[in-house]
Structure 1
Amino acid sequence: MWRLSPWTALAARVLPRGIGSVACYSKTVKGHSNPLYSPDNLLDIATGFHKRNVQAVYLDLPARFTIPVDDTEFPAHLRGVTVDMAQFRHRLKTQNISSSVVDQLNAMNFVWKPRQHRWNLNIMALKTFVSEYGHAVVPQNFVVPEDSPKWPKESWGLRLGLFVKSARATEDKLTATRIQQLEKLGFVWDVNSTWQLRVDAMAHFKTLHGHLRIPSTFEVPERKSWPQEMWNLKLGHIVKNARGRQNTIPSHRVEQLTQLGFEWKLK
């Protein structure tokens, strides 16, 4: 029988269903020279998982797992072995994988880059959400409905609301490419104040004060001189954060602020 760890049980509830994410856990195999981590063994392991879940759209192997000693879907020499996929991927970088093995893995829709794959799944789901609801403000508790023809099968059960929350919380760590992917879909970084609202607030500050040297503690006051939708916006914090992230902000945003007269370095 497969033995599920608490982490794996949790992951099974968080990750999309139907992508081959069954796993079990025991001590990690470390040996960097361990013959376990060979292209042929990877193919055997992937084939075993694929046989267990033929209907899966993608074959996304668990991060670490132990193959049961009595599981006949796997070759005898692999039964009872604990596999660490991070080790596998590290080892494969130094080995030549034959085109035959690559072709067979691709035929099973093997996931070569799990993190990028899960990002792509979330973007796919977000596109569908925007198509269905006309906006990208996803509720935090939103889960992609299962068995719905309106949604791609591989996204069923995906916790899209948590993905959106995480993207907002880690905006400063996202690449410019990923930020642009989200913004093309109308992604709202701050539910109460979008990027454009922030830019408009800076422009309004400049109109009122003649410059953009906004104090880091400045918060838009509730006054008639300011549009109501900008009230209480922590503009000083936004400006300070922008200066500290000039190298990671998408180029089109940098250009937008520069044309406005934004001072990236205070004198």
Structure 2
Amino acid sequence: MPSGCGSGGGREGGRKIDPAQREGLDEIGFAWDITQYKWDRFVLPSLRRFYELNGHLGVPSSYRVPRGSPDWPKHLGSKVNNILQRGDFIEQVKADQDELERLNFDVGLALSSHKSREKVVPAHTTSPDMELGVIRNDPEWKWSERIMPAFEAFHRLHGHCRVPTRFVVPSDERWPKLSWGLKLGIVVDNIRNRGTYSTQISRDKTRLVEMGFVWDLYESEWSERIMPALETFYRLQGHCRVPQSFVVPSDGSWPRLSWGLNLGTVVNSIRQGAYFTQVLRDKTRVKELGFVWDFYEAEWSERIVPRSAD
């Protein structure tokens, strides 16, 4: 990475840089705008790669890039969280908004977070946490009056408690009024990865289990969505060569929890190491389904070679 920080308007330490010096620095890739450099060189490519491997950009806050990947930000999870919650890299997010939206990145949340930081009036003056003019920030009150009611409503409306990372409680009458605007997906992520509300969870764990709260996102995705989808694909097609563009249709032939799953993208990510723990555990069944680890090798040996022999 080029040394030095961005030089603003072409100055370094208050001294104007002449055109020849600027040209020389340009030739060696000097980072005039260090924020833009980090975005172009590390952050955006990492988001693309994570989406390619996982089919989504719900990066857990605690996610760290595997060793041997020097071009990724080491703490990718916290980097994404800061973009969404603090408005980091906001100009870059605006510039690349179209691509980020294609990757299903919550651009709206990032932009709204940035706007909220710019407000002169503190956000808590209109927060649902205000009761009789007193701001209630204690964990017990938040849990019992905002979070648990939001979980109950989510379960009632969706039939499960697999809350997307970027889910925010909408301001409509189907939801508890005190929960409006609550970033419930972030709350869930913090419960899983940071141990927040541990006292309350220990007390209410039975009810959370009844609602289907997902403690391990990867395990839940594998056991409740991916494996049932692979089983169904095999049953309907007689093989497990899933096209990369295949998306589970929303019809009665498929498990409801798998509807809309980008199964082709998931299969490609599995080939590259995703869900390693789950695959290793269920390797016998995966093998029975005829899971194709090398798609091109399978196409060659099972379809092309037999044709050439005819």
Q: CA deviation at 1:63?
A: 0.7
Give the residue type in structure 2 aligned to 1:47.
E
SS in 2 for 1:45: helix
SS in 1 for 2:199: coil
Report if aligned partners of 1:27, 1:82 keep a CA contact under 8 Å in 2: no
Q: Alpha-carbon deviation of 1:113?
A: 2.2
Q: Which residue of 1 aligns with 2:247?
A: 143
How far 1:50 moved relative to its partner? 2.7
Contact 2:246 2:263 survives alignment (8 Å): yes
Shift of 1:122: 0.9
Instruction: Provide structure 1 residue ranges, at least 5 long, that are not aligned to the other structure.
Output: 13-23, 29-33, 198-227, 230-267
Cα distance in 2 for partners of 1:98, 1:112 equals 11
Instruction: Flag the 1:58–1:81 CA change in 2: closer, same or farther, 3 A.
Output: closer
Match of 2:231 among 123, 127, 143: 127
TM-score by length of 2: 0.45
Contact conserved, 2:243 with 2:264, CA < 8 A, in 1?
yes
SS of 2:198's equivalent?
Answer: coil
Gaps of 5+ in 2: 1-96, 115-136
Check 1:146–1:80 CA distance in 2 against 1; reply closer, same or farther (3 A cut): closer
Decide which of 201, 214, 220 is 1:117's aligned counterpart. Answer: 220
Change (3 A) 1:168 1:98: closer
Query: Is residue 86 of structure 1 aligned with residue 203 of structure 2?
Result: no
Contact 1:58 1:154 in 2 (8 A): no
Alpha carbons 1:50, 1:59 under 8 Å: kept? yes
Is the 2:191–2:197 Cα contact (8 Å) retained in structure 1? no
Report the aligned-residue RMSD: 3.9
Paired residues, number = 174
More helix by share: 2
For residues 160 and 179 of structure 2, what CA distance do their matches in structure 1 show?
Answer: 22
Q: Which amino acid aligns with 1:118?
A: E
SS, match of residue 295 in structure 2: coil
In the superposition, the TM-score normalised over structure 1's length comes to: 0.51
| Post-superposition offset of 1:189 | 0.3
Equivalence for 1:47: 152
> What percent of counterpart residues are identical?
31
CA–CA separation in structure 1 for the residues paired with 2:163 and 2:139:
16
State the distance in 2 between where 1:159 and 1:8 align. Answer: 16
- Cα contact 2:241–2:295 (8 A) shared by 1: yes
